[in-house]
Amino acid sequence: MKFGTKAIHAGLEPDSATGAIMTPIYQTSTFIQHGVGNHKGFEYSRASNPTRSALESNVAAIENGKFGAAFGSGLAAIDCVLKMLKPGDEVISTIDLYGGTYRIFKSIFEQYGIKFHFISMENTSGVEAILNEKTKLIWVETPSNPTMQIIDIKAMSKIAKSNNVMLAVDNTFATPYLQTPLDLGADIVMHSATKYLGGHSDVVMGVLVCKDEKIAKEIYRIQNGSGAVCGPMDSFLVLRGIKTLHLRMREHCKNAKAVVDFLKDHPKVDKVYWPGLPSHKNHKIAKKQMKDFGGMVSFTLKGDHLEDALKVFKSFKVFSVAESLGGVESLANHSASMTHATIPKEEREKVGITESLIRLSVGIEDAEDLVEDLKQALK
Ligand SMILES: *Cc1c(COP(=O)(O)O)cnc(C)c1O
């Protein structure tokens, strides 16, 4: 089955009680047992809930995985992956990382004795140099946030496999429409479903998908044991969002290209980060592992002055200044003071998150209006 058909149908059965074609919102905490232990597969909604289960099967299918698990947020999903580790274990992570991911690594799990190495993964040699018998997890975010570095998932999975280390990929920016990390050898795919999967900026949620039954068992043990699950209403909203994921992603990619075409020749713009640009340093890998180049674009201003960037933010009329990304509406974000404020300045600047960097989540409005908005804001 092709992507759009799977997005709309996979894992979903008409409701057995009523025939409802859309998965109902099973807003219930518990399920009746006709005699002790005689139930229909559901006992208590932390452990499993029919609306959430439908979503979990659907996400697993579009990621070409077998098992899905949904959580109360993307960070709750990451929390679950890290709880598979033990004190003394080590993690190697991309340096150019979502700020909240950096924070949960450093400020939560480091105090439980897990050690994190943050490195550039543009080539595999950096990872090989740090790998040792304590390494248990490689964490990859690609495209990365906000400078859109692309990491070769297949090359990483080779190293992970030959060293018996788990490889997890944060696929939030790309979505399974553009890339399916499990097909490239990753063990776990993670999403902030808050972003493109939900797609309408109306829900906070996270998901994990894997193929391996042993990993799935661990995930379900922690999902139920720690209890950071999402509710039935939110599950319904994300299921509904996924049905148009392929349509939205096509528009996001098309509009991002239009925005990049405008920005790249603008006299006030310095760098433009978008993996679809042939001049992007990882363009070749992007072309190899992604179907298109996504809706996230970052750029910096000539001179790199904070005041100039703030003026641009103030002047936007269609772009809204806000955290988050992946919704139908266009958003603009000042990474250094918003999403990446938790990362120390030197670390930030090392990966190119400088004072004037503006990150755009290009929405699915009409491209002409988005370009016009950028034009007047840069003036
Ligand atoms: C938003 C985001 C997260 C965290 O997800 P929440 O749903 O906000 O908890 C993780 N990774 C990336 C790339 C994100 O954009």
Give the model confidence (pLDDT) of 7-56 as tens digits. 999 999 999 889 999 999 999 999 999 989 888 899 999 999 999 999 99
Out of 226, 242, 258, a domain closes at 242
CATH number at residue 364: 3.90.1150.10
In terms of domains, do 81 and 222 share one?
A: yes
Are the C-beta atoms of residues 62 and 8 closer than 8 Å to each other? Answer: no
Query: Where is average pLDDT lowest: 77-81, 118-122, 196-200, 271-275?
Result: 118-122
In terms of pLDDT, which residue wins out, 295 or 339?
295
Residues framing ligand 1 (Cβ under 6 A): 73-75, 98, 100-101, 141, 145, 170, 172-173, 192, 194-195, 204, 206
pLDDT at 186: 98
Q: Which of 242, 268, 296 is the last residue of a domain?
A: 242
Which ligand 1 atom sits closest to the C-alpha of 77?
A: 9
Q: Are 150 and 143 in contact, with CB atoms under 8 Å apart?
A: yes
**For residue 230, how many other CB atoms are within 10 A of its CB?**
25
One domain, residues 191 and 295: no
Same domain? For 205 and 337 the reply is: no
CB atoms within 10 A of CB 1: 10
In the reported structure, the alpha carbon of residue 172 is separated from the centroid of ligand 1 by a whole-number distance in angstroms of 7
pTM for the model stands at 0.96
Protein residue with least CA distance to atom 2, ligand 1: 192
Residues 266 and 184 in one domain: no
Which residue has its alpha carbon closest to ligand 1 atom 5? 74
Mean pLDDT over each residue of the chain, to the nearest integer: 96
**What CATH number did the domain enclosing 97 receive?**
3.40.640.10
Whether residues 155 and 226 share a domain: the answer is yes
Evaluated on CA atoms 201, 203, 206, 211, the torsion sign reads negative
Cα–ligand 1 centroid distance for 170 (angstroms): 9
**Are residues 169 and 263 located together in one domain of the fold?**
no
Query: Helix 367-378 vs helix 306-315: angle between axes, to the nearest 10 degrees?
Result: 130
Half-sphere exposure of 373 (CA within 13 A, CB side): 24
Say whether 308 is catalytic.
no
The residue segments making up the domain with residue 369 are 246-378
The answer to whether 186 touches 168, Cβ cutoff 8 Å, is yes
Cα of 193 from ligand 1 centre, angstroms: 8
- Residue % of the chain over a pLDDT of 70: 100
Degrees, nearest 5: CA angle 258-191-181: 80
Q: What is the mean pLDDT of the segment spanning 90-106?
A: 93
Atom of ligand 1 nearest to the CA of 206: 7
Task: Please tell me whether residues 8 and 142 are part of one structural domain.
Answer: yes
* Number of compact structural domains in the chain: 2
Give the end of a domain, one of 186, 221, 242: 242
46 is catalytic: yes
Do residues 75 and 205 both lie within one domain?
yes
pLDDT value at 114 more than 80: yes
Mean pLDDT (whole number) for 360-375: 98
Interval between CA 35 and ligand 1 midpoint (Å): 43
Using CA positions, which residue lies closest to atom 4 of ligand 1?
Answer: 74
pLDDT in tens, 269-309: 999 999 999 999 999 999 999 999 999 999 999 999 999 99
- Catalytic (active site) residue 373: no
Q: Is 250 a catalytic residue?
A: no
Asked whether residue 257 falls in the same domain as residue 170, the answer is no
Query: Are 63 and 195 found together in one domain?
Result: yes
Mapped onto helix, strand or coil, the DSSP state of residue 237 is helix
Q: How far is the CA of 27 from the centre of ligand 1 (A)?
A: 26
Ligand 1, pocket-test mutation among 192, 298, 343, most atoms within 8 A of CB: 192
In this structure, the answer to whether residues 213 and 250 fall within a common structural domain is no
DSSP reduced 3-state for 214:
helix
Q: Are residues 201 and 322 in the same domain?
A: no
